[in-house]
């Protein structure tokens, strides 16, 4: 069974940094493109970025709203994806999810809450 | 602003059929996925690659596409189908993904 567990969220001041982790199991993690998606309270879903597999050179892409501030990485030996968030803004406050978007086995974890506030 | 456009709200009588639509230029090239999100829960994939249901999703959910519009149809809506529904697909460049703004479905 596909299982995803996001962690690392919390309260951070504007301008600060935070690193999120996503532990995956139940599917071929190393061969899957992993995405991060966020959802601010009461709002819709917003795609944050993705990292492709080793076979696709670990290529990354990011939404314009986070490009240059956020970095996605992965450790296939640990079946874990990461989201490094720097220069955080109040508008980055949201629940962050990781997911193998678009695959038939796609599932979502419960997400991790990031609050950017002074 | 989202490159995929959805109606903000739709309602359906219990047991009737409802269609939720998603419009976007990129849908002429890329398939849409559909998600159900109940309050306080994570999104759940209900349709992928235009018209495929993941394991465990009831067959009353179906997907289709025509031109720049993708549709999610619920045939015989149940009370538990009341939720927010989102479409997603790649953007026009194919390099990024986008979500529609979501449609709140009310089952009367």
Quick: pLDDT tens for A52-108: 999 999 999 999 999 999 999 999 999 999 999 999 999 999 999 999 998 888 999
* Whole-Å CA distances, A102 to A32, B34, B79: 10, 10, 27
User: Does the pLDDT value for residue A20 go beyond 70?
Assistant: yes
**How far off is chain B from A118, nearest CA to CA, in Å?**
26
* DSSP labels, A15-65: T--EEEEEEEESS-GGGS-EEEEEE-TTS-EEEEEEE--GGGTT-EEE-TT
Nearest residue to A109 (alpha-carbon basis) of A31, A27, A11: A27
Q: Which residues of B touch A107 (CB under 8 A)?
A: 45
User: Which structure tokens are listed for A78?
Assistant: 């640990």
**How far off is chain B from A63, nearest CA to CA, in Å?**
7
Residue B2 has a pLDDT of 55
The string of pLDDT tens digits covering residues B1-42 is: 459 999 999 999 999 999 999 999 999 999 999 999 999 999
Q: Confirm or reject contact between A107 and chain B (CB < 8 A).
A: yes
State whether B86 and A45 contact (CB < 8 Å): yes
What three-state secondary structure class fits A23? strand
Residue B31 has a pLDDT of 95
Q: Are the C-beta atoms of B25 and B44 separated by less than 8 Å?
A: no
Residue A33 has a pLDDT of 96
User: Which structure tokens are listed for B86?
Assistant: 């989102």
- B 34-93 → A contacts, CB under 8 A: 35, 37, 42-45, 48-49, 52, 54, 84, 86, 88
């Amino acid at each position: 069974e596909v299982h995803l567990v996001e962690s690392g969220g919390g309260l951070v001041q504007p301008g600060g940094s935070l690193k999120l982790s996503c532990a995956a199991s139940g599917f071929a993690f190393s061969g899957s493109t992993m995405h991060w998606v966020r959802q601010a309270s009461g709002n819709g879903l917003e795609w944050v970025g993705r990292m492709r597999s080793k076979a696709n050179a670990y290529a990354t892409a990011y939404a314009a709203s986070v490009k240059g501030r956020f970095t996605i990485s992965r450790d296939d030996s640990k079946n874990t994806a990461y989201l490094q968030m720097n220069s955080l803004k109040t508008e980055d406050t949201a629940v962050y999810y990781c997911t193998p978007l678009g695959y038939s086995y796609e599932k979502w974890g419960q997400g991790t809450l990031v609050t950017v506030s002074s | 602003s989202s490159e995929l456009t959805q109606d903000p709200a739709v309602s359906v009588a219990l047991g009737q059929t409802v269609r939720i639509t998603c419009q976007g230029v990129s849908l002429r090239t890329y398939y849409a996925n559909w998600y159900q999100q109940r309050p306080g829960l994570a999104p759940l994939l209900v349709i992928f690659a235009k018209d495929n249901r993941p394991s465990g999703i009831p067959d009353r959910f179906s997907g289709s596409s025509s031109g720049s519009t993708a549709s999610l149809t619920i045939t015989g809506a149940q009370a538990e189908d009341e939720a927010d529904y989102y479409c997603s697909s790649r953007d026009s460049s194919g390099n990024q993904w986008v979500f529609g703004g979501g449609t709140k479905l009310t089952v009367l």
